[in-house]
């Protein structure tokens, strides 16, 4: 290994597999996705991985980089290859399809299970809803709204690993933004969907999700909000 190149270990296979080692030339401002793309285009065309936008918008490029989940298109090699090596693996807590591509079906099914979708209460014939940006509920929603569904938090969460039916930080974070959306009509169904076994109470507030979310969202805080909301609903007998 020289200063002009980087030793990269990349996971190959499914749950069972091996690491393949490659030497990749270093470049200025190189991202982890650049490295993977270099390997696929120049060294091993059989390498499977997923990306689309390359600018941190689509949420499809997340992988485990030196043990931690990252959005690879916006992760600079300089920041993560501290020992001069890079070990790239698929995301944890999701079944591996092949190499670095994981099956995100369950991740998204849990969004559906958490009823983390908008339920409209008006039609196109009604006037626009007026929501002030300084409204406290709107502020809560705004704080969590920029999620790109990358699965980094879900992959970082130990509770997801331990408790198979735990809905996970991303789906619960989305449920919290909708909980604070005054236009939404699905409130009582949603509160019920996110309470109980596998729901928001299962979160241990480890904050790995908060630490690693590339959009700097705080799912732990959103889940804490849901815990309070479900507790109120349970006391009132609404769930």
Partner 1 sequence: MTPERAETLEWLMQRVSAMVLAVCVIVHLAVIVIAVQGGVTSKEIVARVGGSVPWLAFYSVFVIAVALHAPTGLRNILREYTSLGRRATHWIMAAVCVLILVMGFRAVVGLYGLGA
Catalog residues that contact ligand FES under the rule CB under 6 A. 51-54, 56-61, 71, 73
Count of C-beta atoms within a 10 Å radius of residue 237:
6
169 lies in the site for ligand SF4, by CB under 6 A:
yes
In the complex, the smallest distance separating the C-beta of residue 36 from ligand HEM, rounded to whole angstroms, is 36
223 lies in the site for ligand SF4, by CB under 6 A:
yes
Count of C-beta atoms within a 10 Å radius of residue 55:
8
**CA 114 to chain CA mean position, Å:** 15
168 interacts with, out of partner 1, ligand HEM, ligand FES, none, CB within 5 to 8 A per kind: none
Give me the torsion for CA of 10, 153, 239, 130, rounded to 10°: -130
Among 40, 204, 215, 233, binds ligand HEM (CB under 6 A): 204
| 147 vs 226, beta carbon nearer ligand FES | 147
| 80 vs 156, beta carbon nearer ligand SF4 | 156
In the complex, the smallest distance separating the C-beta of residue 162 from partner 1, rounded to whole angstroms, is 4
In the complex, the smallest distance separating the C-beta of residue 200 from ligand SF4, rounded to whole angstroms, is 9
Site track 163-202 with ligand HEM (rule: CB under 6 A), x = hit: ----------------------------------------
Residues 6+ apart with CB under 8 A from 94: 102, 103, 104, 106, 107, 151, 154, 155
């Amino acid at each position: 290994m020289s200063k002009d190149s980087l030793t990269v270990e990349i996971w190959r296979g499914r749950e069972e597999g091996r690491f393949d080692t490659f030497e990749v030339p270093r470049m200025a401002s190189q991202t982890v996705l650049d490295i993977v793309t270099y390997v696929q285009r120049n060294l091993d065309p059989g390498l499977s991985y997923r990306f689309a936008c390359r600018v941190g918008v689509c949420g499809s490029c997340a992988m485990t980089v030196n043990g931690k989940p990252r959005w690879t298109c916006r992760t600079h090699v300089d920041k993560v290859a501290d020992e001069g090596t890079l070990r790239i693996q698929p995301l944890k807590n999701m079944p591996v399809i092949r190499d670095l591509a994981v099956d995100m079906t369950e991740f998204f099914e849990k969004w559906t299970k958490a009823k983390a979708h908008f339920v409209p209460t008006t039609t196109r014939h009604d006037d626009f809803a007026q929501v002030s940006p300084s409204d406290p509920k709107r502020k809560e929603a705004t704080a969590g709204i920029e999620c790109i569904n990358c699965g980094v938090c879900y992959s970082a969460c130990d509770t997801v690993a331990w408790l198979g039916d735990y809905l996970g930080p991303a789906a619960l974070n989305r449920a919290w933004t909708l909980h604070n959306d005054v236009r939404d009509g699905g409130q009582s169904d949603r509160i019920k969907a996110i309470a109980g076994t596998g729901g928001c109470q299962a979160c241990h507030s480890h904050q790995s999700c908060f630490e690693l979310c590339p959009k700097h969202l705080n799912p732990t805080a959103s889940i804490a909000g849901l815990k309070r909301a479900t507790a109120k609903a349970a006391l009132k007998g609404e769930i």
